[in-house]
Amino acid sequence: MRRAVSPRVRRPPPGGPRREERTLTVREWIPDAVGVLIGRRKVFYGWWLLAGAVVAMALGSGVSFWAFGLYVEPLERTFGWSRAEVSLAFSVSLLASGLTGPVIGRWIDVRGPRDAILLGAVLTALSYVLLATTRELWHWYLYSVFNSVVRQLMFFIPFMALISRWFDRRRGIAVSVLGSGFSLGGLTVLPVMGAVMARVGWERAFVFAGVTIAALFIPLGLFLVRNDPADVGAEVDGAHRTAESPPAGPRTGMPVGAALRTPQFWVLSIALTLFFSGMFGWLVHQIPFYESVGISRSAATWIVSVAAGLGIISRITLGLVADRIERFESAAVVLSGVLLVAMVSLWLNSTPAGIAFFITLWLVGTSGGPMMEALLLTRTFGVAHFGTILGAVVVVETAGQVVSPTVAGAIFDATGAYDAALVMYAGTFLAALILFAVARRLPRLVPE
């Protein structure tokens, strides 16, 4: 029986065509789910792909972004390096990965995410073995740079491009579920990495990270990942094909060269730069901050881990409504404002009660982080060249992410506290809020 669906028409950009777009409702989701449970419908392969991608994101983020703070104090103690010197590796590696982002994105657009994930898995595993051999400061910087560049091949850009290819009307919920993998890494992988490091030391913890990356990502790329729905005879979103259904058209979108000449690209890029420089910069220093206010390392690790687990709920909750938000720039304004208040509150009160209040705000504010780039960029520029455009945006984002953790580390070295760093991050979220508000008033450049 054919379901009746009320179309919703979005306002096209000036001079652009107008087309109808269906917004999925709960009534559409329930019959599909029931059909799967009773065996009358097959599970859309994209959901299996998304499940594998979530596990990959959890492991990839858990052994890199989440675990970085675990290495700060051991490296300081082992080699006598300052906190700014250790943190600089994070910044330098971000710079290298950002500069190579457009090349990697272009390769993914042409060759597909699968080849990138397979090659990246092998090279990333090797990079963690190299990190375990660190003996000099320049080793730490060089191996960190190599790790960050090859990790780009198997981690963020390819999986975002992959999920954006498989989902259209369900892209909001899909990328939010994918982003929950990032939180899952903090909940499940971070405590494991902390336990491994406590038991065998930081060198063997790096080896452990490399082995687990190879053990998961290589089979995943070989046996699960497929570049497009057509590779398994499916349609985007798992749509049903009938005899009269027209064949799926090519992915549409603006080329990166044209996008670079628009104000939309630069306003969104700088806004995302400010947002993520605050978000990821503070992620690097969360565990050291909690230690600086008298919390033990094990307790600090569990605070970050539990917060990451709760973040899964907040991200999926936002994902359920993201596809119904006409302009996601409006959501970005709200999220930036929440993070602004969070940083100010932690600056004013770092007692256990103050930390609990901060974490509540942090969970809300960061809930949209994983989906921001996918939703903002595909809705503005289209999907056809998403990998390349995302790579170009990463170059701009890198400017803030390179400076952010290093400056925070230098502030702590100079003052013995993170107060000025909290004020700095509050300022970045305020600036991001203003630019997202500006982007909200700019037209989209391709019909959705």
pLDDT over 60 (residue 241) = no
pLDDT digits (tens, 9 = 90+) for 110-131: 889 999 999 999 999 999 999 9
Q: Please, what is the average pLDDT of the chain?
A: 83
Give the C-alpha separation, 146 to 76, whole Å. Answer: 21
pLDDT at 217: 96
Question: 253 φ, ψ to 5°?
Answer: 165, 165
Mean pLDDT of 45-52: 93
Residue 124 is predicted with a pLDDT of 97
Banded pLDDT at 43 (limits 50, 70, 90): confident
What are the contacts of 442-445 at 24+ separation with CB within 8 A?
442/263, 442/264, 442/267, 443/13, 443/14, 443/264, 444/13, 444/264, 444/379, 444/380, 445/13, 445/254, 445/259, 445/262, 445/264, 445/380, 445/381, 445/382
Beta bridge partners of residue 9, listed in sequence order: 20
The pLDDT tens digits for 341-396 are 999 999 999 898 999 999 999 989 988 877 788 889 888 888 878 888 888 888 88
3-state secondary structure of 253: strand
Residue 316 is predicted with a pLDDT of 83
Q: Give the pLDDT score at 325.
A: 83
CA 208 from centroid of its chain's CA atoms: 23
Check whether 243 has a pLDDT greater than 80: no
Distance in angstroms (rounded) separating the CA atoms of residues 27 and 436 = 33
pLDDT of residue 147: 95
Tens of pLDDT, residues 262-275: 999 999 999 999 99
- The 3-state DSSP class for residue 207 equals helix
Residue 36 has pLDDT above 80, yes or no: no
Residue 4 has pLDDT above 50, yes or no: no
Q: Hey, what are 29's tokens?
A: 């989701």
**Where residue 1 falls among pLDDT bands split at 50, 70, 90?**
very low
Lowest mean pLDDT of 3-12, 22-31, 279-288, name the range: 3-12
Q: Taking residues 295-307, what's their average pLDDT?
A: 83
What percent of the chain shows pLDDT beyond 90?
A: 40
Residues of the chain with pLDDT > 70, as a percent, come to 87
Q: Sorting pLDDT into bands at 50, 70 and 90, what band is 281? A: confident
Given a cut of 80, whether residue 425 has pLDDT beyond it is yes
Find where tokens 């919920």 sit: 173
CB atoms within 10 A of CB 249: 6
What domains sit in the chain, N to C, each tagged with a CATH number? 42-235+254-440 (1.20.1250.20)
